[in-house]
Amino acid sequence: MTATETTVRWATICPLDRLMPERGVAALVGDVQVAIFRLHDGSVHAVGNVDPFSGAAVMSRGIVGDRGGVSTVASPIYKQVFSLVDGRCLDDADVSLPSYPVRVADGQLDVGLPW
Amino acid sequence: MLELVVIGNGMVGHRLVQALCDRDSAGTWHITVLGEETRPAYDRVALSSYVDGVSAEDLTLPSLTVDLHLGDPAVAIDRDTRRITTETGRVLPYDALVLATGSVPFVPPVPGRDLPGCFVYRTLDDLDAIKAAAADAVARPGAGRRSAVVVGGGLLGLEAARALRSLGLSPQVVEIAPRLMPVQVDEGGGALLRRLVETEELQVRCGVSVNGIAEDRGRLVATLSDGVELDADLVVFSAGIRPADALARAAGLPVGERGGVLVDNRCRTSDEHVWAIGEVAALEGRTYGLVAPGYAMAEVVADRLLGGPATMTPEELDMSTQLKMLGVDVASFGDAQATTPGALEVVVNDPVAGTYAKLVISDDARTLLGGVLVGDASKYAALRPLVGSPLPADPVALIAPGGVELGADALPDSAQICSCNSVTKGAIVHAIGDGADTVAALKSCTRAGTSCGSCVPLLKKLLIDSGVQVSKALCEHFAQSRAELFEIVAGSGIRTFSELVSRFGQGRGCDICKPAVASILASLGTGHVHDGEQATLQDTNDHFLANLQRNGTYSVVPRLPGGEVSPAQLITIGEVARDFGLYTKITGGQRIDMFGARVEQLPAIWRRLVDAGFESGHAYGKSLRTVKSCVGTTWCRYGVQDSVGLAVALELRYRGLRAPHKFKSGVSGCARECAEARSKDFGIIATEEGWNLYVGGNGGFTPRHAELLASDLDTETLVKLIDRYLMFYIRTADRLQRTAPWIESLDGGLDHLRAVVVEDSLGICADLEAAMEQHVGSYADEWRGVLEDEEKLARFVSFVNAPDTPDPLVQTREERGQRVPVALGLPGVGA
């Protein structure tokens, strides 16, 4: 996804320091569930919270890591690994999570959703 | 291009097309497939999993690029002009025609067999109809459980019975033969099988047939040949199959005496342009109702269509079966019924252990011809490939408990390692020689291990035997094995993942190495599993100290040491479950599980449980789960020791202990073994003299009995040995390796283990005991640890920006008076 600021609406989620490095949190924006992760290097990524393989809203509870240098999260249900950069499933090329832009303003974390 | 028409889109037809597409690099054939069902080809062997929630899509076989016409069966073959006419009037010319029409269920001609409520068990559509009828029956008002009659106690009948039971009905199986699975299993095995599957919810009647079915006040009544009348809401016929050969008969192709299109050793019919494979084909007059022979036929025809020389004989068609039937292992291979002239039978029948094993051997007692295994089929993978080969050891020792364990080196090159795909040991050794150095590589270049998977352990052994260096690397971040990492962490004093990965690994870890390191750190006693960076390493279960279920909710399991629980505690559990709307179930490990708790509810649930004196039962961890016990000398007339007291003491001693895999224990107060201690990772059975200690029993994918490590121990010695055994396991096993394969992997196996932990051959026992003492001394309840820490509590919210809003995707409905999850609709993949 290549959303830019002009095509998204920003929703303020929480203070950035509410996120623990290398663990995720779930957020509810309207009726969209988003999984947000703060990585070791300080970067923040947001993808869909619903695991495409089980239908359960659990992605925020997965283990964060990397595969071949790409930051990843593993679904806690059946353990498929997804890229945190663009939401692609690295175990199944036909599957991906939606990926959302994030920004930090005044210490608050915002997630951008498509209009 | 030549025209090939395949009539039939089942597993065998699909295999033929797949094999042909794989090999026809020159593009000789244009393939058209006609299917009677409107669905794409699916895995009919796994049909019963459909009632357990596996979707039709999951069962679908990989799609192939051919002209596929579904729901349009062939209705006529004109062999003179070589043309097929289909139901919709399509006319297809062919250069070669393959009949893969399979079979139709046999329904005995009894009055009433067409009544509403009578079904056959063959296709997904049949199962849809059965599911709907079962749901109607269960929903009908009135007391009592709904019942079903299954006509036929063969393989399929027992599967149907299991499926009906999981749909909420009580099945009664009626089998005309004097035993269950008469084709695969002999009398002794059938008797044990019957005893093992007979429960209150599944009754078996052998040696009787159904005389008629009648309607009675909206239900059905089946009258049996012995005069018994069985009430039923459904009747399912699974009394055998008949080759679907009507089309071939109409086209004038010769058929066998008992049906089936006659084919020669190339699977060719009397017409050189027409072939038949699978259940519709009769090779030397005989038909085959299993998928493996059908696959073998498909391979032969694929080869022939491309000018190859492949042939087959009935002797080469493998009729072996291995399955778990209603929780009971059953396997049958080779000449299981001892029909070879002069064949000898060797039987080990252990009704106490619930196992039956028979080998059929040649009249000179030198060659293995076949066998039957019921109750424990763990030796199937090693025995089946030996059929037709010289016996490598005394036949009794081959099937006796604790007897000879066969290695892959005992097998001749001609032995079939993978019977599903007819792959010999020779072919696998050859592939290894050509550079296949992993199980995955062997699977892709030989197809071995790609169907039922029972031969995968043998593939591994063959790889190791051939000297292939199987990588011990935990994952891409660590080149070390788990045991090596344990030594590094224990010896270096490193206590964080970050330091470990930066000094001894690379990258930032993954879902494989992080939980493994978390387990190592926990075994070394490094505080609460959520302290500091450790929190980031935990798998979701350990992160939320509860067991993740498929809809994203968790189960909560308080510890009930030894299965003992006071009335007041029972009331608390009931009240908590009621107040939070949790589904409650007593599990096989003597625990009460409460299912359906959402993340944000967990702390409130724990608060009530902890206040009532409960602790976390660690049902979520790779840790000690339960120590099961009978009632021992306290109440039982036969108990010779206090099994409850010992179970409670052991459970409290090892509570919270993290290991490479979850592990369980049991303590039986006498040899009657009511606690099933011999199916546990460590099990204790009381004797007149003290305790017998068994190790390495597992209830995983390949269940096995524990073996005796030491006998007649006093309690102090017993605990000391268990301390050493568990700590040695924790330090040296691979990630996710259960105790049974761990013991097997030790050079010298059980004898080596005994030398280390009983005789202290390595001089490490004092060290192992000290490590366990440290664990016992540092134990603290993990639930309480969260409740007492605001920072940890803050993680238990549904949404970071709406902490108390329940996950809207979690929905429940009521079933049998309790709340259960509504199956999650999957969102569009890739959306």
Q: Please provide residue A17's backbone torsions phi and psi, each rounded to the nearest 5 degrees.
A: -75, 0
Contact call for B507 and A66, based on CB within 8 A: yes
Distance in angstroms (rounded) separating the CA atoms of residues B638 and B497: 52
The ipTM assigned to this model is 0.92
Distance in angstroms (rounded) separating the CA atoms of residues B595 and B585: 8
Nearest to A74 among B511, B809, B824 (CB): B511
What does the pLDDT look like over B335-357, one tens digit per residue? 888 888 888 888 888 877 888 89
**A107–B contact, CB cutoff 8 A:** no
User: Where is average pLDDT lowest: B20-24, B217-221, B318-322, B492-496?
Assistant: B318-322
pLDDT at position A6 is 57
For residue B518, the chain A residues in CB contact (below 8 A) are: none
Distance between A42 CA and the closest CA of chain B, angstroms? 13
Contact call for A27 and B827, based on CB within 8 A: no
Distance between A85 CA and the closest CA of chain B, angstroms? 15
Res. B604: pLDDT tops 80? yes
pLDDT at position B831 is 34
Distance between A97 CA and the closest CA of chain B, angstroms? 6
pLDDT at position B827 is 46
Percent of chain A residues past pLDDT 70, beyond the cut: 95
Res. B746: pLDDT tops 90? no
* Residue in A with minimal Cα distance to B824: A55
Q: In degrees to the nearest 10, what's the CA dihedral of B57, B62, B67, B72?
A: -40
Looking at mean pLDDT, say which of A83-97, B414-428, B701-715 comes out highest.
A83-97
pLDDT at position B337 is 82
Res. B700: pLDDT tops 90? no
Nearest to A56 among B538, B552, B830 (CB): B552
* CB atoms closer than 10 angstroms to residue B112: 18
pLDDT at position B298 is 94
What does the pLDDT look like over B21-31, one tens digit per residue? 988 888 899 99
CB B251 within 8 A of CB B289: no
pLDDT at position B451 is 63
- Place B390 in a pLDDT band, splitting at 50, 70 and 90: confident
Distance in angstroms (rounded) separating the CA atoms of residues B254 and B14: 25
Distances (CA, A) of B287 to A31, B155, B270, B284, B683: 58, 16, 16, 9, 47
Contact call for B826 and A55, based on CB within 8 A: yes
What does the pLDDT look like over B480-497, one tens digit per residue? 989 899 999 988 888 899
- Contacts of B617 by beta carbon, 8 Å cutoff, 6+ apart: B557, B558, B559, B560, B591, B625, B626
pLDDT at position A1 is 44
What is the C-alpha R_g of chain B? 29
Longest dimension (CA), chain B: 87
CA B81 from centre of chain = 50
Nearest to A66 among B510, B543, B808 (CB): B510
pLDDT at position B749 is 83
Percent of chain B residues past pLDDT 90, beyond the cut: 55
Residue ranges of chain B whose CB lies within 8 Å of a chain A CB: 476-477, 498, 507-511, 513-515, 533, 535-540, 543-544, 548, 550-552, 599, 795, 798-802, 805, 807-810, 824-827, 829-831
Chains A and B: how many Cβ contacts under 8 Å? Answer: 123
Distance in angstroms (rounded) separating the CA atoms of residues B806 and B581: 14
Distance in angstroms (rounded) separating the CA atoms of residues A78 and A55: 11
Q: In degrees to the nearest 10, what's the CA dihedral of B213, B215, B217, B219?
A: 60
First-to-last alpha carbon distance for chain B, in angstroms, is 41
Res. B819: pLDDT tops 80? yes
- Place B413 in a pLDDT band, splitting at 50, 70 and 90: confident
**A18–B contact, CB cutoff 8 A:** yes
pLDDT at position A7 is 76
Distance in angstroms (rounded) separating the CA atoms of residues B480 and A97: 32
Best of B474, B511, B790 to disrupt the A interface (most A CBs within 10 Å) is B511
Residue range A76-84: mean pLDDT, rounded: 93
pLDDT at position B407 is 66
Distance in angstroms (rounded) separating the CA atoms of residues B529 and B531: 6
pLDDT at position B470 is 65
Distance between A55 CA and the closest CA of chain B, angstroms? 5
pLDDT at position B826 is 52
DSSP letter at B420 equals T
* Residue in B with minimal Cα distance to A65: B510
pLDDT at position B324 is 67
Please provide the average confidence, as pLDDT, over all residues in chain A. 90
Contact call for A95 and B829, based on CB within 8 A: yes
Res. A3: pLDDT tops 50? no
For residue B809, the chain A residues in CB contact (below 8 A) are: 33, 50, 55-57
Contact call for A13 and B552, based on CB within 8 A: no
Q: For every residue of B47-85, which 3-state class applies, written as one string?
A: HHHHHHCCCHHHHECCCCCCEEEECCCEEEEECCCCEEE
Contact call for A20 and B536, based on CB within 8 A: yes
CB B99 within 8 A of CB B281: yes
- Alpha helix (H) residue ranges in B505-639: 513-523, 540-544, 567-580, 602-611, 632-635
Residue B396 tokens, joined: 């009794």
Distance in angstroms (rounded) separating the CA atoms of residues B310 and B291: 19
CB B428 within 8 A of CB B462: yes
What does the pLDDT look like over B448-482, one tens digit per residue? 876 666 677 778 778 887 777 667 788 889 989 89
What residues of chain A, 21 to 60, have a C-beta less than 8 Å from chain B?
21-23, 25-29, 31, 33, 36, 39-40, 50, 52, 54-58
pTM of the model: 0.55
Looking at mean pLDDT, say which of A25-29, A38-42, B159-163, B478-482 comes out highest.
A25-29
Angle at B224 between CA B218 and CA B227, to 5 degrees: 105
Residue range B405-423: mean pLDDT, rounded: 74
What does the pLDDT look like over A35-60, one tens digit per residue? 999 998 899 999 999 999 999 999 99
What does the pLDDT look like over B562-602, one tens digit per residue? 999 999 999 999 999 999 999 999 988 899 999 999 999 99
- Place B325 in a pLDDT band, splitting at 50, 70 and 90: low
- Place B784 in a pLDDT band, splitting at 50, 70 and 90: very high
CB B625 within 8 A of CB B589: yes
- Place B787 in a pLDDT band, splitting at 50, 70 and 90: very high
Percent of chain B residues past pLDDT 70, beyond the cut: 95
Angle at B44 between CA A53 and CA B255, to 5 degrees: 160
Contact call for A61 and B801, based on CB within 8 A: no
Distance between B566 CA and the closest CA of chain A, angstroms? 35
